Amino acid sequence: MPSHVVAATAEFPPGTRRLIDVDGRAIVVFNVKGEYFALLNKCPHNGGSLAAGVVTGILVQAAHETTTPDAWRDAIDAIWTHPIVGGSPLIPAPVLAVAGGVALSVGAVAGALSLKRSGNSWPPVVLLAVSSFGIGIFRTHAWPGGPLTFGGMAIAAGWLLWERARAQAHS
């Protein structure tokens, strides 16, 4: 396997990552507790940037696909036990995930109340509010939490636009 110099180790402390170009391919390199992991910068779930997100799932998958899964344990544990990203014994859920889920639900419910006050019908307003809790209920942005949450919100938005267009056509 070819090697490439990314940075001096002093410039690349544990807990950091670098996005580099290797022969026209975007590669993200993670320094996890002094061990370096290089991966193609493309999430296999949605094609997004690994450099921009958490890679626990990628690390777990890689561990299962190798003959030495224990070699990945420190990297996986470092993410899972990080107090902000992965949670800790004191905080059972990741702080950022909980804050994001609460913000999504509060924002959607506030938006739904505002839409109802402006004269929209109950069904799409309720769908908007209820669907915002999918990630919190299923505790994942993957199936079923994310698709049900964002799919439900998209259906509610389309329904509301359809109602608005129908009302404008009749006036």
Residue 119 scores a pLDDT above 60: yes
Question: Token digits for 90?
Answer: 């004191």
Give the pTM. 0.50
Is the pLDDT at 162 greater than 90? The verdict is yes
Instruction: Name the CATH architecture for the domain at 9-80.
Output: 3-layer Sandwich (2.102)
For residue range 10-40, list pLDDT tens digits in order. Answer: 888 877 778 888 888 888 887 777 778 788 8
Whether 106 has a pLDDT exceeding 60, the answer reads yes
Tokens 């329904």 sit at which residue? Answer: 159
pLDDT of residue 52: 60
Q: What is the mean pLDDT of residues 116-125?
A: 94
* The pLDDT value given to residue 23: 86
Q: How many CB atoms lie within 10 A of CB 87?
A: 19
Contact 62, 68 (CB under 8 A): no
Q: What is the pLDDT of residue 160?
A: 94
pLDDT tens for each residue of 47-88: 556 666 555 555 656 666 777 767 766 766 666 556 555 555
Least Cα distance to 14 among 3, 26, 2, 29 occurs for 29
Tokens 């359809």 belong to 162
Give the tens place of pLDDT for each residue, 126-158: 999 999 998 788 776 667 878 889 999 999 999
Spatial distance between the Cα atoms of 16 and 29, rounded to a whole number of angstroms = 9
